[in-house]
Structure formats: C-alpha cells, structure tokens
C-alpha cells in the first residue's frame, strides 16, 4: 500500500474518532458537579453568572449568538456543568474550556476532513486535503486549517481545498479546522517512521472579546489587513499562542505565515508593517504595527501603532498611536495619541484623545480630549473633558464638567462646577457672574465683567474718562471670594490697567484691591474699598496721580509711583 494511502487511512480513522468521541476530551470545569435550586423565569445570563460566581472560572460568549436575555425555567439540578449547559442552550452550541474560562460558541454545523500527507524529507511534509460540511457534503471555503504547536495555518479556497507545509515534522501532529458557526474538528497525523510519546506543546491563552473593541472592526486597520487574515481571526477566535520571535515584510508575509494574527511574540520585527496577536517584549516597524490584543514593554513604528487590547510600557509612533482599550506607561505620537483609557504620560504634537478615563498627564501642542480626567491636561491651545476633571492648563480655553483642581487658561474656562478657574472669562454654571459699573480715584468710569467659581474669578472690562482729551483704560484681573456671605461679602483682586488715548499708551497701573460689598437685593450689590497700586509712566507721558502717594521713583526712561487709591460701584449679579 502506498505511503500516502496509509497516511490517508490513518487520518480518516483518527478524524472519525475525534468527531464521535468528544468525551475523551472532557475537561475539569465542564465535568464539575453543579447544584442549583429551582430556576423560574430567569435570564440565561443571570444563571451563567450564578454558576461562575460559585466556581473558579468565567463564561465567555458573544451576546449576538448566545441568548443571554432569554428567560428559562429549570427544576432543581445536580449534575455536570456540561449537561446543564446542554439543557440551557441545546445541541447547537459548543463548550470549550481554557484557562480561567468556559467558552460558549454557537456551532450548529459539523465539519468533515479528508486529507493526505506526503513526506518531502526526513522532517518535512505537506498535507493536502478538503474540508466539507458533514451533513450535505458541500465543500467549505474560508475555513482555517492549522497546527497549533508548529504555528502554521492555511485557508481553504472556494473548493474547500487546502495545503499545509510542515517543518520539524518529527512526531504526532494535531491538525485543527475552524469555521464560524461550525464545531472545531481536530485530527491526529503520525509520522510513519518516527513516533514519539509526547511533543512540545505551545501554551495557548484565551482573551475574551470586548464589544466594539477589536482592530478587525476598525475601518482604518482593515485597510492593512487582508480578507483572509480577517477570516482567520473570525474562525480561530480569541485563542492565542506564544512564540519567541517573528519577522514580517507585510502583514501577509510573515515567518508565522497566516498564523501570525494568533501568535503573541516576545520579539517582532516588521520591515514594512506587521499584524500579530500581541507583543510581550519588543516590536519595531518601518511603517506600522497592528496588534489584535495586548502590547507589553516596548513598541515603535515609523508611522503608526494600533493595539486592540492594552498597552503597558513605552509606545512611540511618527504619526499616531491608537489603543482601543487602555494605556499605562509612556506614549509618544508625532501628531496624535488615541486611547480607550490612559494612565501615564501622553505626549502628542497635535492631539491626545482618551475616550474613557485619563489618570495621567496629557501633553499636546494643540488639543487634549478626555471623557473623564483625574490627572493633568496641558495643551498649547485647549483642553476638553466631558466628565469630571483634575487639572487643566491651556493657552486659550478649557472645557469640562466638574473640575476638582485648577483650570488655567489665558482666555476662557467653561465648566459646570469649578472652584478655582483662572482666566479672563469663566463660564461656570454654578459660579457667580456679575456686571459692575464703578469709579476710582482718577474719576475713570469702569464697566467690568466678573465671572468664576466658588473661590476664584476673572475680571475683564473697559474704562473711560472724558476730559479735554478722552482717555480710556483696559482692565484685567484675578479675584478671590474671601467672605462669600449672603448679604455681606469681601473680595480681593489683583488688577492691571492699560491707560491710553487715541494717540498713544499713557501709563500702566497694577496692584491689589480689597472690596467689601453689601447685597441689598438678590441681584444688586454695592461695593467700595481701597487699592494699593503701582503706576508706571514713561517720560513723555502726561500721567497724573490722584491717590495718596506712598513713594515716587524716577529715572531716565520714566517714573514709578506707589499710591493708595479707591474703587466703588454697583454690581448686577446672576
């Protein structure tokens, strides 16, 4: 009998034994005894939670294919977990056990494999075969055929045909076929010359999928991933092996071949770009890195990094980094960093965006955006947080809801609640805003807008005095509510004034003032108080000092006067 015929017969018999003897592969949790009281009209998901809470594992399943919200009723039960799951879900579901999880998979269909092996050398072989539907015998395309210990795989074509080249083929090989909505089918292949009692098995891990958080569902990432690789990920799911290294030219040309998206590597070198399951070490790319799950320790790319899971360590990209779940460590992006959550340091030339909680430092040249911040946002232009916020520093504007720390902006701060905003204009929903008309010792009439939070507020306004030569003043300041009582109040302010006419700048005034006030209606307050100020004018200025002069200093360029002044007026509050 020819060798290939013998191998074919061996494969055929082995595949039948695997298909019809699943009990041989029963595992610990599925064989555990489960005791449940009567279940009356409870969601399947709640029943599963009750079982897993009493065990040392979790259930992993897709809500779209497992009816977790469906109500079920069962009499009191005592028996194996496998039998209970079979009662709850029926025979159209497959149950797998991996470390820490029992995976529930909708698999109403069955696969059938025919294959033959040809030896190309002492330790090399090629497997050729077909994958069919077990019931109607139609050929199945886009099924994943792989050897999990040798880390090789193939995708069946439209005729269900596959070829799988094996290197280091010295003992038993387990060939597995996976396809969405089909039960996994495995078969043993034995080298006819050398038979070993054991092989070095790869360790596989299972990562539960988070809804809406996968690189395969990202349109940008899918531009760089072939349809065969996407199908491979769908078929093989969230089972991942570990490997010391991989080298690739592009995502489809890798030392792991089509299996690269199921392997977590300790070292990865992608000459142009790579697509791997994850990194637990170091990864470098000339253009881009795409990881389905987590990246730990170090990653760098010339253009971008995209990670579907978590990043822990250092990540740098010439253009942008995109992490769908969370980042902990240091992240450097030439233009942008985008994260689900972030804890650590984010530095971007233009924009940092955290879609969830940011507990670290966001530093950008243009804009920082976060859903919620417990750290610090520092931006060249603006910061935006749609939830609770820690500290915000921006040259133009800060926007947040509830601010726990300082808000500092040159122009405007906006928040629902912020006790310590520092800016010219502060639109704080629960803060005080007022428009005041006042006069000072120089008989300027000032119209000032004050706005801020419970403690700090900003001042901006204009002043004017109509003499023979009209004179104007621009007012800026920062105030603090020292005593914010219902009727009586006491505010302290640092202020700065630029005094000018239609021809030139005349002089500058800066100092401190203390403003006691009395509110005689809900919206009206009168205030009056002293100020300690310094006046600087150049030699050509015709500045006049009307306050109580404390000291006067002159030099060749101008004069400086310190005096005590007075301010009083009327405020309209809202």
Tell me the sheet residues that pair with 346.
331, 362
Residue 126 CA to residue 22 CA, distance in Å, equals: 27
123 and 115 Cβ atoms separated by less than 8 Å: no
pTM: 0.73
Question: Is the pLDDT reported for residue 542 higher than 80?
Answer: no
Distance CA 318, CA 17 (A): 53
Q: Angle, to 10 degrees, between the axis of helix 81-89 and the axis of helix 44-53?
A: 170
Tell me the residue ranges of DSSP E strands in 216-301. Answer: 239-250, 253-254, 263-270, 273-276, 278-285, 288-291, 295-301
pLDDT, one tens digit per residue, over 87-98 is 888 888 988 887
pLDDT band at 31 (very low <50, low <70, confident <90, very high): confident
Per-residue pLDDT band at 294 (split at 50, 70, 90): very high
Question: Is residue 211 over pLDDT 70?
Answer: no
**In whole numbers, what is the pLDDT of the chain averaged over residues?**
86
pLDDT at 197: 41
- Calculate the alpha carbon distances from 59 to 29, 184, 423, 470, 537 in Å: 11, 19, 52, 80, 77
| Per-residue pLDDT, 200 | 52
Lowest mean pLDDT among 162-171, 193-202, 440-449, 516-525: 193-202
Q: What share of the chain is helix, strand, coil (3-state, %, to 5)?
A: 10, 60, 30
Contact criterion met (CB below 8 Å) for 305 and 289: yes
Residue 539's nearest CA partner among 562, 555, 563 is: 555
In angstroms, how far is CA 400 from the centroid of its own chain?
19
Q: In this predicted structure, what is the pLDDT of residue 17?
A: 37
Give me the pLDDT at residue 72, please.
87
- pLDDT > 90: percent of the chain: 49
Residue 73 pLDDT: 87
What percentage of the chain reaches a pLDDT higher than 70? 89
Predicted confidence (pLDDT) at residue 305 exceeds the cutoff of 50? yes
Q: Cα(99)–Cα(94) distance, rounded to whole angstroms?
A: 17
Pairing verdict, β 488-500 and 304-307: unpaired
User: What integer is the mean pLDDT of 260-269?
Assistant: 89
Task: Write down the pLDDT at residue 115.
Answer: 81
Check if the beta carbon of residue 225 is closer than 8 Å to that of residue 56: no
Residue 219: predicted pLDDT = 81
Q: Report whether pLDDT(26) > 70.
A: no
Average of per-residue pLDDT across 77-85: 88
What SS3 state is found at 216? helix
Residue 188 CA to residue 186 CA, distance in Å, equals 7
Question: How many Cβ atoms from other residues are within 10 Å of residue 65's Cβ?
Answer: 15
Mean pLDDT, range 387-394, rounded to an integer: 94
Question: Which are the contacts of 216, defined by CB distance < 8 A and separation ≥ 6?
Answer: 222, 225, 230, 233, 234, 292, 308
Q: What is the mean pLDDT of residues 130-145?
A: 90
Output the pLDDT for position 510.
95
Query: How many angstroms separate the Cα of 430 from the Cα of each of 141, 238, 348, 456?
Result: 63, 48, 33, 13
Helix (H, G, I), strand (E, B), or coil: what is residue 479? Answer: strand
Per residue in 494-525, pLDDT tens?
A: 999 999 988 888 899 999 999 999 999 999 99
Per mean pLDDT, which of 17-26, 70-79, 176-185, 288-297 is the most reliable?
Answer: 288-297
Query: Strand, helix or coil at 326?
Result: strand
* Residues sharing a CB contact under 8 Å with residue 16, sequence separation 6 or more, in sequence order: none
Quick one: pLDDT at residue 24? 36
Strands 445-452 and 425-428: unpaired
**CATH class for the region spanning 437-573:** mainly beta
324 has pLDDT over 60: yes
More reliable by pLDDT, 324 or 557: 324
Question: How high is the pLDDT of residue 7?
Answer: 43
CATH tag for 3-17+109-201 (out of 3.50.50.60, 3.90.226.10, 3.20.20.70, 2.60.40.10): 2.60.40.10
Choice between 205 and 559, residue whose per-residue pLDDT is larger = 559
Confidence of residue 240 (pLDDT cuts 50, 70, 90): confident
What residues contact residue 231 under an 8 Å CB cut-off, 6+ apart?
A: 142, 144, 155
DSSP letter (8 states) at residue 442:
T
């Amino acid at each position: 009998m020819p060798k290939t015929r013998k191998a074919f017969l061996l494969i055929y018999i082995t595949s039948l034994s695997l298909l019809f003897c699943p009990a041989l592969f029963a595992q610990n949790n599925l064989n555990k005894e489960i005791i449940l009281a009567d279940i009356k009209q409870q969601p399947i998901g709640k029943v599963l939670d009750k079982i897993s809470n009493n065990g040392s594992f979790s259930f992993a399943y897709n809500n779209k294919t497992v009816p977790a919200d469906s109500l079920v009723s069962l009499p009191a039960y005592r028996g194996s977990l496998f039998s209970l799951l079979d009662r709850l879900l029926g025979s159209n579901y497959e149950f797998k056990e991996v470390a820490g999880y029992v995976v529930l998979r909708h698999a109403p269909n069955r696969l059938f494999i025919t294959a033959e092996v040809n030896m190309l050398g002492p330790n090399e072989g090629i497997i050729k075969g077909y994958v069919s539907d077990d019931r109607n015998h139609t050929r199945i395309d886009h099924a994943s055929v792989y050897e999990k210990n040798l880390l090789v795989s193939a995708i069946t074509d439209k005729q269900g045909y596959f070829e799988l080249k094996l290197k280091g083929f010295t003992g038993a090989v387990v060939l597995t076929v996976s396809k969405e909505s089909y039960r996994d089918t495995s078969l043993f292949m034995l080298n006819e010359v050398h038979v070993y009692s054991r092989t070095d098995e790869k360790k596989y891990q299972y990562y539960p999928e988070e809804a809406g958080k996968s690189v395969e569902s990202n349109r940008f990432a899918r531009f760089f991933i072939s349809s065969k690789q996407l199908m491979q990920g769908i078929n093989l799911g969230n089972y991942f092996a570990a490997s010391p290294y991989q080298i690739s030219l592009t995502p489809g040309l890798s030392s792991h071949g089509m299996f690269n998206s199921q392997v977590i590597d300790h070292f990865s070198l992608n000459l142009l770009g790579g697509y791997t399951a994850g990194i637990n070490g170091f990864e470098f790319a000339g253009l881009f890195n795409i990881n389905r799950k987590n990246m730990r320790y170090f990653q760098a790319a010339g253009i971008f990094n995209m990670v579907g899971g978590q990043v822990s360590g250092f990540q740098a990209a010439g253009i942008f980094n995109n992490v769908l779940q969370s980042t902990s460590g240091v992240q450097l992006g030439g233009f942008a960093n985008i994260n689900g959550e972030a804890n650590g340091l984010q530095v971007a030339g233009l924009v940092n965006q955290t879609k969830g909680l940011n507990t670290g430092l966001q530093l950008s040249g243009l804009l920082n955006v976060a859903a919620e911040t417990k750290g610090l946002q520092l931006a060249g232009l603006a910061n935006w947080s749609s939830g609770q916020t820690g500290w915000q520093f921006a040259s133009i504007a800060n926007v947040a809801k509830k601010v726990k720390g300082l808000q500092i902006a040159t122009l405007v701060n906006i928040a629902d609640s912020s006790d310590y905003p520092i800016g010219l204009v502060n639109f704080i929903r629960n803060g005080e805003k007022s428009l005041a008309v006042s006069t000072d010792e120089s008989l300027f009439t000032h119209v000032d807008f004050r706005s801020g939070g419970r403690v700090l507020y900003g001042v901006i306004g204009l002043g004017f005095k109509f003499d023979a030569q009209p004179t104007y003043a621009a007012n800026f300041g920062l105030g603090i509510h020292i005593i914010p009582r219902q009727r009586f109040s006491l505010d302290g302010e640092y202020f700065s004034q630029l005094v000018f006419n239609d021809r030139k700048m005349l002089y500058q005034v800066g100092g401190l003032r203390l403003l006691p006030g009395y509110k005689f209606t809900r919206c009206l307050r009168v205030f009056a108080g002293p100020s300690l100020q310094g006046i600087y004018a150049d030699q050509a200025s015709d500045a006049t000092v009307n306050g109580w002069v404390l000291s006067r200093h002159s030099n060749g360029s101008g004069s400086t006067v310190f005096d005590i002044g007075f301010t009083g007026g009327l405020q309209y509050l809202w």
